[in-house]
Structure 1
């Protein structure tokens, strides 16, 4: 494996691990508070960490070089993330983590579909089969 391939695998596995912990910690944390308040608290923590990293790495000066198109799509991504978190916490507060998480993670199927439609990435048998298995697996877990 190339070093770049290894790096993205490590980052992806760390992301999956922390996403799993996020679900468990959130389910415990929202037990006695409003889910929107919980989302706001979580967002502040993320905000402090993200800007801390940007300042530590000295990348804050690059903010003025961001193109309008890039900024629009980053803002849309932030809006989508915020809405995702709000609905995720609502679902987590009222449902079982073991059921909410698989449905949330089934967004993978939508990512694959959207990547074909909007990014022009190739659709092949492997993607179709993998997406189908994700859908079937999600249905097995939630039904």
Structure 2
């Protein structure tokens, strides 16, 4: 088994738990406030881990390009979370989560367009199945 697979599976599990915990937690709370609270928790956790592992020693070595793209990634993450929490507040997890997971198919497409990655037939079929699955799960 590739070394990244357990982490990817745990990521999927935690993402699923995020949807459930968020849906319960945002009842009667503004979705933007809920996102802000969640972000503070993540901020504290991420810095605690980075400090504990000594990862902050690499801060002075980061290039300007790295900073720009990490900031852009952070802005995209923030926008995603704000939209996700609002969607969860307005709709059922069983429909919001599949639409959110279209990010997998979109990431494949964007990786081809912007990173020059190649997508195998298997990858294209998988992305198509994600799209089809989303349509089936969300369709009325």
- Bin for the TM-score computed over the shorter chain: over 0.9
Q: Which residue of 2 aligns with 1:47?
A: 43
Q: Name the CA distance, whole Å, in 2 between partners of 1:27 and 1:95.
A: 9
Question: Following TM superposition, by how much is the alpha carbon of 1:124 offset from its aligned partner in structure 2, in angstroms?
Answer: 2.7
Q: Which residue of 1 aligns with 2:89?
A: 93
- Choose the corresponding residue for 1:81, options 77, 82, 89: 77
Q: Which residue of 2 aligns with 1:135?
A: 131
Q: Name the CA distance, whole Å, in 1 between partners of 2:135 and 2:21.
A: 24
TM-score (norm 1): 0.95
Structure 2 residue 13 is matched with structure 1 residue 30? no
Q: Which residue of 1 aligns with 2:11?
A: 15
- Show structure 1 runs of 4+ deviating over 4 A: none
Question: SS at the partner of 2:119?
Answer: coil
Cα shift readout 1:3-62 (whole Å, capped 9, x = no counterpart): xx1x20000000000000000000000001000000000000000000001110112121
Listed as ranges, the gaps of 5+ residues in structure 2 are none
Q: Name the CA distance, whole Å, in 1 between partners of 2:25 and 2:82.
A: 14
Listed as ranges, the gaps of 5+ residues in structure 1 are none
Question: SS at the partner of 2:28?
Answer: coil
Q: Name the CA distance, whole Å, in 2 between partners of 1:123 and 1:84.
A: 25
Question: SS at the partner of 1:92?
Answer: helix
Q: Which residue of 2 aligns with 1:56?
A: 52
Q: Name the CA distance, whole Å, in 2 between partners of 1:54 and 1:128.
A: 36
TM-score (norm 2): 0.96
Question: SS at the partner of 2:29?
Answer: coil
